[in-house]
Structure 1
Amino acid sequence: MRSAVARRTALAASAAALALLATACGGDDKADKGGSGEDKGGAAASSAPAAKALTAAELEKAALTQADVKSGKVTEKVSGAEAAAQDKVKADDAACAPIAYVQNGSYVGKPSATVLRKWTGEPKKPAAGASDEEKFLAGMDASSVMVTLASYENGGAEQAMKDLSAAAEKCAGGFSITVAGEKTKVLKVATTDAPKGGDEALAMTVTIQADEGIEASSKGVVVRKGATLAYFPAFNLAAAATGKDFDFPTEIVDAQLTKLG
């Protein structure tokens, strides 16, 4: 029985990782409501003058470190295998590409500078008397978030948010993502309550078709502060294997936005 669970986990994780499902978000109804605009994941327009794009050095200074979080592990040197380059991610409908980029740990548009971090939570402890299968899944039950800070010039941050909002609406019924030659079917995209703390915010949950009839969800949040976008795609391996929901670690969004200023 354990081997069946292990196989199911591996298959679901493989399919979901291709779409770096995490989509997900700060995007479930457990995320802080508000966002500087529309509660339901919509990006709020800003009439403020264009902000100055941060340099690579400024982004590095503003990025999360281990000292900024109360739990989990922050990885400052993230391998390229964990976040797909934008040019390696394709959507069958170009209008849906912004969602595909975010879910795979990339960014929208052409930022002038970026910095990448990864946060990994601590696995849940199995309940007393848990079966072998439950213990196995408990060990996988740790959410991870790719945190990308991207600065944009000439209104690029605002345009990226517009493109994301348009994609979330147009692609709500699903589309396909191809990463490194592997195709993944996105079944639906749902916008959810966006977090507070920025000029605009978008939160969404992306559901993909994993193997053996399993539907796996990822969550993602994107927040704009001035000319900087903070991307937070999140993924939980145990949730991908079982098709169950998972809580988005909103504290990571809060910590990053506080440090971003």
Structure 2
Amino acid sequence: MTSRIKTVLVIGGTTGIGEQLVRRFHALGKKVIVTGRNQASLTALAQELGGLETRQFDITDFSTLPSHAADILKAFPNLDTVLINAGIQKSFSFFDPSSIAPGEVEREIAANLTAPTLLIQAFAPHLLSLATKGTPATLFVTSSTLGLIPMGLWPNYSATKAGIHALALTLRQQIAFAGEEAKKNFNVVEIVPPYVDTGLDKEHREATNAAQGEHAFPPMPLQEYIDQFFKTLEDVEADGSLRKEIGVGTGALAVQTWRDSFGEVYKQFGMAT
């Protein structure tokens, strides 16, 4: 339900899915702030989309994240939605040291899991404060179908996205401890994309397709994914809250399978998921 979103921060929004989300939210009349590492890309996007706000920083520079978050919240005290989307993907074999450059494993973990964790830590208190005062607040975190159905071609990526899935679950449980207003107004939404045609896998697409052979399948066109994303976003829960996951294609299958299995275990524990 996009009507609950007034001001949205998209972290990692200058390419791929992130950029298209920025464009669609902007077209819907939302106040959009976008971050990225590349100032030229941010400037070009701002010149095209009137009123777009930009902030340039690297999410893997952990020492500066708190100050960047504080600056954003000072400039936009009514920020009600944060979408954490930035990430990288590598394909390698644990048995072939030459298949990945030194330091790339650490860099993938830093971008895909450590940085999102620190960003949640930086923005969650603000969003909770809004929610407890009756203002709808939303945190989107982007995982992947590979976070629920890991594959050996992308071992570290799969593991980091499984970590994002766990963060979404545990954050919802912590919100449940914060009281009824928080539970009602603070939605945590896990974005679970399928294989989408972006530049995420450009370094290794040919090699991974060759490795899969006849089982290789084509990516979903980016605009098709965005259309389905926003259609699903409007399909709210019975209580009017946003869906806990936005899964498209194989992402929807993975989410439903998880809900029908481990989701039922959580219900037995009486825990929010």
**TM-score normalized with structure 1 length:** 0.30
Greater strand fraction, Structure 1 or Structure 2:
1
Greater helix fraction, Structure 1 or Structure 2:
2
**TM-score normalized with structure 2 length:** 0.29
Greater radius of gyration (CA): 2
